[in-house]
Amino acid sequence: MNVKTLEEGVKIEAYEVIGILAHEAEPENISLDPLRGETRDFCRRCVVNENFRGKPGTSLKIPVADGAVKFVMLCGIGKCEDSAEESVREGAFRIVRAAASKGYEKVVLQAPKANEKVRSRSIAEGAVLANYRFDKYMKKEADDKFKAVENVVVIEGNEEGFSEGKVLAECQAYARDLANEPGNVINPEVLADKAEELAEAFGLECEIWDEEKIVAENMGAFYAVGRGSENPPRFIRLTWPPKGEAKKHIVLVGKGITFDSGGLDIKPADYMTTMKGDKSGACAVLGAIRAAAILNVPHKVTAIIAAAENMPGGAAYRPDDILTARNGKTIEINNTDAEGRLTLADALAFASELQPDAIVDIATLTGACAVALGSYTAGLFTNNDALGDKILEISKRTGERLWKLPMDDPNLRKQIKSPFADTVNSGSRYGGAITAAMFLEEFVGKDIPWVHLDIAAADFIKEPRGYYVKGASGFGARTLASLLMEC
Ligand code: BES
Ligand code: MN
Ligand code: ZN
């Protein structure tokens, strides 16, 4: 998609869809700025009759016949003083989606403060997200007129904001496409192929390790998780080498379980569906490094994925097994369904050896996190409040909700102690997201600023909401990419 500022002299009546993002006001005062003449009068009457007041999440679609115009659509973005980025993103989405679903191609948008970069970014993000569909495995219905909108123009927009927003949302869409692919299509080897394709296309360095190399590199925890599957594990490392000297080195680690059956501690059927999404952290990390390359960030960025399929095959690892991770720590297994943290243990140990300025991992790690925060907010854990706060602040703008959870409870920490090994791979149900984070911390280098994002359930949209359709959300891709742009 292309998002541009409306050229001078071009009449808005040349567009099929006119979208207006409106701040909260009395219906008489709702901004109808770009509209003129009879259309304006007609829309004002509709706004008053319908009592449209610009509340966030509300919209009004008004059929109009004037030049090329098919409809005018207003979307509320709340009060002026609110930080309105999320409702702007959603409003732009709704308008462009409404156009796309009718097959209309010419869309013009009006939004307050569109000349500001952040605002234009949100508009572009919403517009790009509106084209998203994962329909490659379906026949198109006869009455389905959906057509992706290729061009959106904005009255008085900010070009830099448009191009950034477009890249960020496209990288989110890239992450969603990958995460939506089922386990029979994407296994660890295929995920590694995808990473290689990405490297090829965007000038990244790529290194893939097969199972022999994984064993030789002492990744005993990660390797054990992959053993129960016919599809062997792969260790994936992508690097973005900035032009000139790197300002910082940031490592992103994504959980890449291409399917999580639970292993020998097999999941009940109801919990096993959506587990193709257990690679969502990896997908978000790939999306973020893709954005870093396109936007030419001045930092060295490394993306690490320990990709495996958690299956209960004959060679599967067992409860009671004791594994040795790359950093030498031994792990007693008490649940083979707590596999993500084992793959991350070796990935984080490896990441720490690179001595980067920061490590951020993102993982669909625990159902307990979803129980604590719901499925719309992800948990944030950190050993470094400055880095944690930076990411929390960014997430306020990206709309990817994060909430910080504590890691300082010594009694909870006792739960990952084992009588037979240095640590055990799962604690009790209570505080399960926290004990998982504490487990990960055992594998992070002592002085390295580290943030762990638990995106369990936030990775998957059960019912359409906001600018999301059903399926993978791509949660985290925009926030991580923004971190790379701003840190
Ligand atoms: N991949 C799951 C976590 C998950 C649950 C992601 C729901 C998305 C939605 C993870 O590997 C897992 O199975 N965790 C267990 C840990 C337990 C065995 C300690 C869980 O949360 O039940
Ligand atoms: Mn699991
Ligand atoms: Zn899992």
Give the ligand with the smallest distance to the CA of 460: 1
Q: What does the pLDDT read at residue 84?
A: 84
Q: What does the pLDDT read at residue 173?
A: 98
Take atom 22 of ligand 1 and give the residue whose Cα is closest.
367
Q: Is the CB of 280 inside a 6 Å radius of any atom of ligand 1?
A: no
Q: Is the CB of 336 inside a 6 Å radius of any atom of ligand 1?
A: no
What's the predicted TM-score (pTM) here? 0.98
Task: Say how many Å lie between the CA of residue 366 and the centre of ligand 2.
Answer: 8
- Please check whether residue 311 is in contact with residue 274, taking contact to mean a CB–CB distance below 8 angstroms: no
Indicate which atom in ligand 1 lies nearest the CA of residue 427. Answer: 19
Take atom 3 of ligand 1 and give the residue whose Cα is closest.
366
- Per residue, the 3-state secondary structure of the chain, as one string, reads CEEEECCCCCCHHHCCEEEEEECCCCHHHCCCCCCCHHHHHHHHHHHHHCCCCCCCCCEEEEEEEECCEEEEEEEECCCCCCCCHHHHHHHHHHHHHHHHHHCCCEEEEECCCCCCHHHHHHHHHHHHHCCCCCCCCCCCCCCCCCCCCCEEEECCCCHHHHHHHHHHHHHHHHHHHHHHCCCCCCCHHHHHHHHHHHHHHHCCEEEEECHHHHHHCCCHHHHHHHCCCCCCCEEEEEEECCCCCCCCEEEEEEEEEEEECCCCCCCCHHHHCCHHHHHHHHHHHHHHHHHHHHCCCCCEEEEEEEEEEECCCCCCCCCCCEEECCCCCEEECCCCCCCHHHHHHHHHHHHHHCCCCEEEEEECCCHHHHHHHCCCCEEEEECCHHHHHHHHHHHHHHCCCEEECCCCCHHHHHHHCCCCCCEECCCCCCCHHHHHHHHHHCCCCCCCCEEEEECCCCCEECCCECCECCEECCCCHHHHHHHHHHC
Read off the pLDDT of residues 191-206 as tens digits, 9 standing for 90 and up.
Answer: 999 999 999 999 999 9
Q: Is the CB of 367 inside a 6 Å radius of any atom of ligand 1?
A: yes
Take atom 6 of ligand 1 and give the residue whose Cα is closest.
456
pLDDT along the chain (487 residues), means of 10: 95 96 97 95 98 96 96 95 87 98 97 96 98 96 95 97 98 98 98 98 98 98 98 98 96 99 98 98 99 98 99 98 98 98 99 98 98 98 98 97 98 98 97 98 98 98 96 98 97
Which of 341, 390, 397, 478 is the catalytic position? 341
Q: Is the CB of 172 inside a 6 Å radius of any atom of ligand 1?
A: no
Task: Say how many Å lie between the CA of residue 259 and the centre of ligand 1.
Answer: 12
Task: Say how many Å lie between the CA of residue 165 and the centre of ligand 3.
Answer: 31
- Which one of 331, 341, 365 would you pick to mutate in the ligand 1 pocket, going by the greatest count of ligand atoms within 8 A of its CB? 365
89 is known as an active-site residue: no
CA 268 distance to own-chain centroid? 27
Take atom 5 of ligand 1 and give the residue whose Cα is closest.
367
Give the ligand with the smallest distance to the CA of 366: 1
Distance CA 168, CA 272 (A): 30
Q: What does the pLDDT read at residue 244?
A: 94
Indicate which atom in ligand 1 lies nearest the CA of residue 278. Answer: 1
Task: Say how many Å lie between the CA of residue 375 and the centre of ligand 3.
Answer: 16
Q: Is the CB of 432 inside a 6 Å radius of any atom of ligand 1?
A: yes
Per-residue buried b or exposed e for 63-97, using 16+ beta carbons within 10 Å of the residue's own CB: ebebeebbbbbbbbbbeeeeebbbbbbbbbbbbbb
Give the ligand with the smallest distance to the CA of 456: 1
Q: What does the pLDDT read at residue 80?
A: 84
Give the ligand with the smallest distance to the CA of 369: 1
36 is known as an active-site residue: no
